[in-house]
Structure 1
Amino acid sequence: MQAYAIAKAVRISPYKVRQVLPLIRGKKVGDAMMVLRYTPKKAARLVEKVLKSAVANAEFNFGMDVEKLKVVEAKADQGPSMKRFRPASMGRAHAYVHRTSHITVTVAE
């Protein structure tokens, strides 16, 4: 049995989140929480929040034992991009994009 949690349209690029995810894949939930707590990146805080949600889903929806849970899958997909324009010289405008992520964490016994 697997339980998962998804955070959608999080205001951080998937590239930055993917730097943190290999640190927790395949680890026990307690070890993964410890690693994320001491990782000095914004993405670590966001992934920790999703991991806590996945553990809560496993415990309350499926009755799984929290001590036996492992992180089976952790991924970050591209979310919707917010397109904005900044004024430039000589009446022009330069486009830039705010990228967002969909962070998914799956846990299982």
Structure 2
Amino acid sequence: MEARAIAKHVRVSSRKMRFICDMVRGKSVEEALTILKFTPNKGAKILEKVVKSAAANAENNFDMNRDQLFVSEVYSNQGPTTKRFRPRSQGRAFKILKRTSHIGVVVKERD
């Protein structure tokens, strides 16, 4: 049995999120939350929220034991990119890409 949680359109690039996802993959939920709490990245706070949501889904919807849960899958895929322009010298305009990501967490119970 597994429980999942997904956060979409998060304003962090998926490339930066993958580094944080690799830190918590395979860890127990409590250990993952501790790691994310002390990681000084913007994405760590967002991922912490998604892990808590997945753990709550497992506990409330599937009657799983929170102490037995571990993070089996964590992924960060690219979301839609917002395009902006910055005015530059001599009437030019440079493109700014504001990237987003979709973050997913799957938790399972240890046997």
TM-score category of the 2 structures, normalised to the smaller one = over 0.9
Find the counterpart in structure 1 of residue 82 from structure 2: 82
Give the AA of the match of 1:87: P
Post-superposition, which runs of at least 4 consecutive aligned residues in structure 1 deviate over 6 A? none
After TM superposition, give the deviation of residue 96 of structure 1 in Å.
1.2
Matched residues, percent identical? 52
Describe the SS at the equivalent of 1:20. helix
Aligned residues: 109
TM-score, structure 1 length as denominator?
Answer: 0.97
Give the AA of the match of 1:6: I
Report the Cα distance in structure 2 between the residues aligned to 1:104 and 1:35, rounded to whole angstroms: 17
Is there any run of 5+ residues in structure 2 with no aligned partner, and where? none
Describe the SS at the equivalent of 1:80. coil
Determine if the alignment matches structure 1 residue 91 to structure 2 residue 97. no
Report the Cα distance in structure 1 between the residues aligned to 2:89 and 2:29, rounded to whole angstroms: 52
After TM superposition, give the deviation of residue 74 of structure 1 in Å.
0.3
Is there any run of 5+ residues in structure 1 with no aligned partner, and where? none
Find the counterpart in structure 2 of residue 45 from structure 1: 45
CA RMSD after TM alignment: 0.7
